[in-house]
Chain A
Amino acid sequence: MAASTPSGAPSSKEKKYDRQLRLWGANGQNKLESAHIALFNASAAGCEILKNLILPGVGQFTVIDDKLVEEADLGANFFLDEESLGKPRAERTAALLGELNPDVKGNYLVDSLSNTLSAKPELLNPRSTPFTHIVIISPVPTPLLLQIPIEIPVFLVNCVGLLFTLRISAPLHTIVEAHPESLVDLRLLNPWPELSALAAEKTKNLEVQQEMDGDEGMSDHEHGHVPYLVLLLKYLDDWKRRPEGDGTHPSSYKEMTAFRSFVQDKMRTHVPGGSEENYEEAVAAVLKHVRKAEVSEYAKTVLDHPACANVTSESTNFWIIAKAVKQFLESPEQGNGLLPLSGGIPDMKAESSGYVALQNVYKNKARHDAALVQKNVQSILSSIGREPSSISLEEIEIFCRHANFLRAISFRPFSAELSTDEFHKKVVKDAFESWDADSALINDYVAFRAFQEFITQNNGRAPGDTEGPLDEDTVEMQRLAKAYLSEVGCSLELAERTENIIGELVRYGGAELHNTASLAGGLVAQEIIKIITQQYVPGNNTILFDGISSKTGTYVL
C-alpha cells in the first residue's frame, strides 16, 4: 500500500480502494495484496469468486482447469466470450478476469486437481506451494479432497441450480480486529485511582447552586456540562454510602432501576427546558454501562488455548502477545483480574476541555496497560530466542484495545467430517432435534453429503449428469442419504425437505445457474477476505444457501 502524500491527500491507490479501506484499513489491504489464490475449476462460480477478490486488489490468482471452452460455458460464465470457444478455459478466464484490475497478477495452468496432486506435488506442498489460499469448485471425489494438506486454507464450493454450499478448512485462525459494534469499556464499577480522583474533583460542588460569580457553587451551565461518566461515578459512590444501603453497587435489575431514579432526582429542573441533557444521558447509560468489567468467553477461549500456554519460537505474534496479555490479567501488580483497558469513550454532552481531560484519563490508562503488556512481550521474546523489540508497540496497542474481542477459530479438517466422527454425529443429531428442524438447512446438508458420496463413487460424475434415466440417480441419491443418516444414528426416513433438495440436485445434473453462481461468488469471496485480512469473523465451517426459500444456514460439521 502506498502511503498518503505529505499534505494528507490520498494516493491514487487510496482513491481507488477508498470504500474498502474504510472497512479493513491499510493493514487488511496489505494482507490482501500479499495473498495468492488458486482456483481449481474455472466454473462460473469460481470466476465470480475470483472477480470479487481481484476487484479489491488481491495480490495474485492462478486459474487451474483442464477443459476447453464450450457453448454451454458462455451461457453461465461472464468471464468467457465467443472468441474463447474451443480454447483452454484456464487461459481465457484468466485473461478476462485479469482485465478487472491492472494491479493484480493473473496466472493459469491447463491442468486438473488430480493431475496437479500426482504430477506437480510441490504446488500443493505446504512448504513449497506458491498459493496462500485454495478455492475448489466441486465435483471433487473425496479421496482427492483428503490429499490436500490441512496447512493450506481451502474453500470447497458446491454450486448446483438454486443451491450452494461452502466448506472452509483452515489452520487455527486468529483474529484481533473482529470489528464489534463498540470497543467501549468504561470500568464504572472498577475505576482506577486517577479516574476516581478526576470524578471527585469535577463533582466537588455539584450540589451547590452558584449564587453569584466567583462563589464556590456550580453554575447551571457548568452543571449541565459535567460529562455523564463523571456523574455516574459520583452517584455510584454516593449510592454505596447511602445510610439505608448495604455498601455495595447496584446489581439486580430492581437496584439498577432504583439507581436510575436516584440519578434522575439529582437533575436541576429549574433550568431552561426543564431538564439537563447530561443527566438524561447518564440515566440512559445506567443499564448499558453500569456493570462489572468481565473477560468475554471469546477472550477466555483465546487465553486458555494451548497455543497460548505453549509459545515457542515458531509461534505467531498473536500468540506471543496473547500470552503477555494473560500474564497481565493474572498478575496482581498488573491487571489483577482485568484485561488491558481499550481506552475509548463515547461522545457525550460536555465542554471540550472537560471531555478531553476525561478522554485522556482513559487513554493514559490504556497506554499504561499496553506498556506493561509490552514488557511481558519482551521477556517472552527473549525466552524464545527472538529479538525483544521485534514486536512493535503499535501492534501491541492494537491487540490490547481489542483484547476482549479476540478470536481463535479451529476449522475442522475435511477428514473429520467425511469420516463422520463423534463430534460430527452430535452436531447433526442436535440439528435434527431443534424446533425448526423441518425447515432447517441441515436437510440440505444431508442431500449434499449424498451428492459428495455419489461423485466419489461415480468418478466425478454429478447425479443427473447422464444420458440415462434420471430416476436411477435419484434412487441412488436417496439410498446414499439414508446410508449417511444411519451412520450418524438418525431416523432412516428422509425428510420431505431432503427429498426435495435431492430432486433439485439431480434435475440440474451438477450444472451451475449464473445467478446462484454470482451469489456464491459474493459470499465465498467475503469469507476469503475475512480470513486473509484476519478481520471480521468468518463462518465456521459450512455455510449453505437455498435460493428457493432465500435462506442460509451455518453448521460446524
Chain B
Amino acid sequence: MTVADHPKCGAGGLGCEVLKNLALSGFTDIHVIDMDTIDVSNLNRQFLFRAADVGKPKATVAAEFVMRRVKGVTITPYYGAIQDKGPDYYMQFQLVICGLDSVEARRWINATLVDMVDPENQESLKPLIDGGTEGFKGQSRVILPTLSSCYECSLDMLTPRAAVPMCTLASIPRQPAHCIEWASILEWPRIMGDKKLDNDDPEHITWLYEKALERAKEFNITGVTYSMTQGVVKNIIPAIASTNAIIAASCCNEALKIITSCSPFMNNYMMYMGDEGVYTHTFEHEKKEGCPVCGTLATDYEASGEWTLDEFIERLKEKPDIQIKKPTLSTERRKLYYAGPPQLMEMTRPNLDKKLKDLMDSGEEVAITDPGLPFSLRLNVIFSK
C-alpha cells in the first residue's frame, strides 16, 4: 500500500469513520482539520468520543484515539477552520476528503482546490472526495478540480429551506415553526436588544420555547415543543451512525481506488437512499457551463432594465445556484453597490433606487462578491425585451 500524505476535513460523524477506515486501509500519514468541540449529542454516532471527552476539540481526541488503537499510523490534528490554511498547506497532500456540514465550508475548499490547479504541474491537481448525510440518506462524490463537475456546479441540487415571509411570522402564523421563528427572529432582538442569541445556551432556547408557546396559544396553534424549538433554531439535521458508516466507507473506497489505481474510481456521484429499501444511484454529474468556479466564462443573466438595483439584488438572493446574502456589486466602469465599509456603502446607497438601464448597458459584465462566496461571481446582465 502506498504511503499517502493525506488530509481530511472534519472529525464529525463522517470524519470519525473516515479516520478509522484510512488507518485500517494502510494509510500511514493523515491530517485532520476540525473547528468543533465535542457535544453530548455527537455521542450517538461519533464513536471515537466518550462522555468524558465532551468539550474537547474533536480533531485532537479523534487523532489520539485512532493512533492508540491502530499501530503505525500518524494522524496530525489541527483544531481550527479549514479557511485558516492556504494553498501551501493543501498542496502537500495527495487528496482531500471532506465530511463538512456547512455549504460555506464546502464551497470554500472546492474553490480553493480548483484555484490551486496549475496546468503545467500535474501534482497541483488534488482530487476532492465529498460526503454528506441526512437521516437515512446520503451522497458521496469524486471531484477532479477543473476536470470534472465541482461542488459549485451542483449547488442548485440543494433544496434550500424555504424562507417564511416576514409578514407570516409577524402577523399570521399558522405553524408551530412560525411561532418559533417569530420568537428567535423578531421577539429576541425586540426584548433583548443587542444581547446575542446563543443557540447552544439551554437558557436561551428555553426562553424562545416559552415565547413561542405563548404565541402559539394566542393563535390556537398546537405542536410547539422544546425539541422542535431547538431543531428550528439550530437547523438540526437528523444523523445516525449507520448512514455515516455507509457514506464514509464509500468516500474511502474511492480514495483507495484513486491512490492505488487498482480499479476505476467513481464517475462521479453516488446517491444513497435508505428510507425505503436500499437504493443507490450512481451517475455522472456534468460540469456546468459557466460555473463561476471551474468555468471560464461569465454567466448570462437575464434581467429587466426597468428593475431597480435593489430589486435586482433581491432576485439574485433568491437564486438557489448563487446563494448570496450581503453582496457588493461593480462593473468595469463604476461601483454599483458596496455592502461595506460604511463610507462606500453610504456613497453607493443611492444607486439602489436607480433603474438598471441607467446604471449599465445590456450585456455588461457585473462582478459580485459576498461574504458567502469564496470567489468573485461574474454575470453578463442581459436586458430582456
Residues of A within 8 A of B (CB): 4, 7-10, 12, 14-23, 48, 51-52, 55-57, 74-76, 78, 81-82, 99-102, 162, 178-179, 225, 347-348, 350-353, 355-356, 513-516, 518-519, 521-523, 525-527, 529, 536-540, 543, 547-552, 554
Residues of A within 8 A of B275 (CB): 179, 536-537
Which residues of chain A are near B202, meaning CB under 8 Å? 9
Could you list some 27 contacts between A and B, CB below 8 A? A8-B206, A9-B202, A9-B226, A18-B227, A19-B41, A21-B227, A52-B240, A52-B245, A162-B253, A162-B263, A352-B219, A355-B172, A356-B221, A515-B256, A518-B20, A518-B21, A518-B245, A519-B246, A522-B245, A523-B246, A537-B275, A538-B277, A550-B270, A550-B282, A551-B280, A554-B277, A554-B279
Instruction: With a 10 A CB-CB cut-off, give which of A347, A350, A351 has the most chain B CB atoms.
Output: A347
How distant is the Cα of A57 from the Cα of B241 in the complex, in angstroms? 11
Q: Is A539 within 8 A of B277, CB to CB?
A: yes
Tell yes or no: B340 within 8 A of A by CB.
no
Complexed CA–CA distance, A515 and B248 (Å): 9
Q: Tell me, in angstroms, the Cα distance from A385 to B278 when the chains sit together.
A: 41
* Contact mask for chain B residues 243-286; partner A; CB cutoff 8 A; 1 contact, 0 none: 11111111011101000000100100010001111111010000
Contact of B236 among A9, A12, A19, A353 (CB under 8 A): A19
Given A347-B174, A356-B220, A522-B243, decide whether A57 and B277 contact each other with a Cβ distance below 8 A. Answer: no
Question: Would you list which residues of chain B between 212 and 237 have a CB under 8 Å from chain A?
Answer: 219-221, 225-227, 230-231, 236-237
The answer, among B44, B69, B174, B263, for a CB contact under 8 Å with A57, is: B44
* B45 CB → nearest A CB, Å: 6
Considering the complex of A and B, which 5 residue pairs feature the smallest CB-CB distances, nearest first? A522-B245, A519-B249, A522-B246, A514-B24, A8-B226
Q: From residue A355, how far is it (CB to closest CB) to chain B in Å?
A: 4
Q: In the complex the two chains form, is B25's CB within 8 Å of A515's CB?
A: yes
- Verify A525–B21 contact, CB threshold 8 A: no
Chain B residue total in the interface (Cβ 8 A): 64
List the B residue with the shortest CB-CB distance to A101. Answer: B43
A334 to B69 alpha-carbon distance, docked (Å): 63
Are B245 and A525 in contact (CB-based, < 8 A)? yes
Q: Cβ of A526 and Cβ of B246 under 8 Å apart?
A: yes
Once the chains bind, are B253 and A51 in contact (CB under 8 Å)? Answer: no
**Given A18-B44, A516-B249, list of 6 further CB < 8 A pairs?**
A22-B238, A356-B219, A356-B221, A518-B248, A519-B250, A525-B242
- A19 to B51, Cβ gap below 8 A? no
Bound complex: CA of A75 vs CA of B219, how far in Å?
Answer: 61
Tell me which residues across on chain A come within 8 A of B41, comparing CB atoms: 15-16, 18-19
- Judge whether A515 and B24 touch: CB under 8 Å: yes
Q: Is B197 an interface residue (CB 8 A)?
A: no
A99-B50 contact given A19-B44, A515-B24, A554-B277, CB 8 Å threshold: yes
B173 interfacial contact with A, CB 8 Å: yes
Q: Which chain B residues (38-75) contact chain A, with CB distance < 8 Å? A: 40-41, 43-45, 47, 50-51, 68-71
Q: Which residue of B lies closest to A351 (CB)?
A: B172
Is A521 touching B24 in the complex (CB atoms < 8 A)? no
In the bound assembly, the distance between CA atoms of A351 and B47 in angstroms comes to 47
Q: Is B136 close to A, CB under 8 A?
A: yes
Q: Which residue of B lies closest to A549 (CB)?
A: B282
A51 to chain B: which residues have CB within 8 Å?
47, 241, 245
- Please indicate the chain B residues that have their CB under 8 angstroms from the CB of A356 in the complex: 174, 219-221
Contact B274 A536 (CB under 8 A): yes
Q: Which residues of B contact A348 (CB under 8 A)?
A: 174
User: Once bound together, how far apart are the Cα atoms of A551 and B253, in whole Å?
Assistant: 12
Alpha-carbon separation in the docked complex, A34 to B243 (Å): 22
* B135 lies within 8 A of chain A by Cβ: yes
**Contact of A526 with B250 in the complex, beta carbons under 8 Å:** no
Please tell me which one of the listed residues A16, A225, A514, A548 contacts residue B44 in the complex, with CB atoms under 8 A apart: A16
Cβ-defined contact, B249 with A15, below 8 A? no
Is B348 engaged at the interface, CB distance under 8 Å to the other chain?
no
A515–B274 CA distance with the chains assembled, in angstroms: 20
Residues of A within 8 A of B220 (CB): 352-353, 356
Distance between Cα atoms of A18 and B282 in the complex (Å): 31
Measured CB to CB, the closest approach of chain B to A472, in angstroms, equals 25
Q: Does B175 contact A (CB under 8 A)?
A: yes
Contact of A78 with B20 at beta-carbon distance under 8 Å, contacts A100-B47, A526-B246 already known: yes
Inter-subunit contact B206/A81 (CB<8 Å): no
In-complex Cβ contact of A22 among B236, B245, B256 (8 A): B236
Report Cα–Cα, A355/B216, bound state, in Å: 13
A-B contact count (CB 8 A): 189
Report whether B50 and A81 are in contact in the complex, using a CB–CB cutoff of 8 Å.
Answer: no
* Interchain nearest-CB distance for A361 vs B (Å): 14
Which residue in chain B gives the minimum CB-CB distance to A14? B227
Q: Is the CB of B47 within 8 A of A55?
A: yes
Which residue in A12, A179, A352, A549 is a CB contact (below 8 Å) of B173? A352
Query: A97: nearest residue on chain B (CB-CB)?
Result: B47
CB distance from B177 to the nearest CB of A (A): 9
CA distance A352 to B169 in the complex (A): 11
Report the minimum CB–CB distance from B260 to chain A (whole Å): 12
Name the CB-closest residue of B to A522.
Answer: B245
The reply to whether A19 and B277 form a contact with Cβ atoms under 8 Å apart is no
Task: Assess whether A527 is in contact with B278, with CB atoms less than 8 Å apart.
Answer: yes
Are B172 and A352 in contact, CB atoms less than 8 angstroms apart?
Answer: yes
| Residues from chain B with Cβ under 8 Å of A23 in the complex | 135-136, 238, 240
Cα distance, A527 to B135, chains bound together (Å)? 13
* B238 and A19 within 8 A (CB): yes
User: How would residues 87 to 104 of chain B score, 1 for a CB under 8 Å from any chain A CB and 0 otherwise?
Assistant: 000000000000000000
Of A12, A21, A78, which contacts B69 at CB under 8 A?
A: A78
Residue among B20, B44, B135, B243 with the highest chain A CB neighbour number at 10 A? B44
CB of B152 within 8 Å of the partner chain: no
- Would you call B239 an interface residue if the criterion is a C-beta within 8 Å of the partner chain's C-beta atoms? yes
Contact assessment for B24 and A75 in the assembled complex, using a CB-CB cutoff below 8 Å:
yes
Q: A52-B245, A526-B274, A536-B275 are in contact. Are A22 and B253 (CB under 8 A)?
A: no
Q: Assess A355 versus B25: contact at CB under 8 Å? Given A52-B245, A526-B274.
A: no
Give the shortest distance, in Å, between B253 (CB) and chain A (any CB). 5
On chain B, the residues within 8 Å of A536 by CB distance are 136, 274-276
Please, which residues of chain B bring their CB within 8 A of the CB of A355?
A: 172, 174
Asked if B24 contacts A9 (CB within 8 A), the reply is: no
The distance in angstroms between the C-alpha atoms of A522 and B251, with both chains bound, is 13
A538–B279 Cα distance when bound, in Å, is 11
| Residue contact A9 to B206, C-beta cutoff 8 Å | yes
A523 touches B277 (CB 8 A): no
Q: A19-B240, A100-B47, A356-B221 are in contact. Are A526 and B136 (CB under 8 A)?
A: yes
B17 CB within 8 Å of chain A: yes
Question: Is B209 engaged at the interface, CB distance under 8 Å to the other chain?
Answer: yes
A433 to B261, CA, bound (A): 33
Tell me, in angstroms, the Cα distance from A484 to B44 when the chains sit together.
Answer: 44
Do A102 and B51 touch (CB < 8 A)?
A: yes
Q: Which residues, 163 to 181 on B, are CB-close (under 8 Å) to A?
A: 172-175
A525 vs B270: C-alpha distance when bound (angstroms): 20
Chain B residue with the shortest CB-CB distance to A225: B172
On chain A, the residues within 8 Å of B240 by CB distance are 19-20, 23, 52, 56, 526, 529
The CA-CA distance from A338 to B136 in the complex, in Å, is 32
User: B25–A547 contact, CB under 8 A?
Assistant: no
If the complex has contacts A22-B238, A76-B24, A549-B282, are A8 and B209 also in contact, measured as CB distance less than 8 A? yes
CB neighbours of A21 from chain B (8 A): 227
* Nearest chain B residue, comparing its CB with the CB of A540: B277
Contact A552 B278 (CB under 8 A): yes
Rounded to whole Å, the gap between the CB of A104 and the closest CB of chain B is 12
With a cutoff of 8 Å between Cβ atoms, the chain A residues found around residue B70 in the complex are: 78
Contact between chains at A523 and B226 (CB < 8 Å): no
Per-residue contact bits, chain B 281-298, to A (CB 8 Å; 1 contact, 0 not): 010000000000000000
Which residues of B are found within 8 Å of A22, using beta-carbon distances?
135, 227, 231, 236, 238
Task: Enumerate chain A residues within 8 angstroms of B237, measured Cβ to Cβ.
Answer: 19
Closest to B267 in A: A550
